[in-house]
Amino acid sequence: MKYKKPRVKGSPEQKIVDGLKSILKRNGWLVEKTHGNKYQAGWPDLYCFHPEHGPRWIEVKTPTGPLTPAQGAKFKLWEKFKVPIWIITDPENWELIFKEPNWREFEHKIRKAKPKQGMINVEDLFKHD
């Protein structure tokens, strides 16, 4: 069985997460990091709360980082249920969370799934009719 390598503390995405968490906390937000594991495939990285502005689901990406197939499928499903998701690629752009959810701007960056024999299609997991 293959395992993914754990994220290195100094990875480019982790640096964005750390910077964003710091800025949000300084501005009165409670920031919860979601755990990335096989049971949470496609979940955004952060769930944030503010007493005046309410909750925000935030996915952190590097400027060139693609969305995973699981994220593309899950974000589409959540959108149907009016769950907004913001993507932040630079901590300095944190104020994007006060604008309209922007995940659709990254839809063209969804990485294509590589089907393997005997494996299920991750997009099928999130279909909702």
pLDDT recorded at residue 39: 78
Name the residue with higher pLDDT: 3 or 11.
Answer: 11
Residue 113 pLDDT exceeds 80: no
By residue count, the chain amounts to: 129
Q: Long-range contact list for 103-107, CB < 8 A, 24+ apart?
A: 103/59, 103/67, 103/75, 103/79, 104/79, 106/61, 106/67, 107/67, 107/72
Residue 3 has a pLDDT of 44
pLDDT in the model for residue 40: 83
Residue bearing the bigger pLDDT, 42 or 31 = 31
Mean pLDDT of 5-19: 79
Q: What's residue 1's pLDDT?
A: 44
Q: Report d(CA 99, CA 87) in Å as an integer.
A: 11
Span 17-44, average pLDDT: 91
More confident residue, 72 or 128: 72
**HEC string of 57-111?**
EEEECCCCCCECHHHHHHHHHHHHCCCCEEEECCHHHHHHHHCCCCHHHHHHHEC
Mean pLDDT calculated for residue range 24-41: 89
Complete domains list, the chain, with CATH: 12-125 (3.40.1350.10)
Spatial separation of the C-alpha atoms in residues 78 and 70, rounded to whole Å: 12
pTM given for the model:
0.80
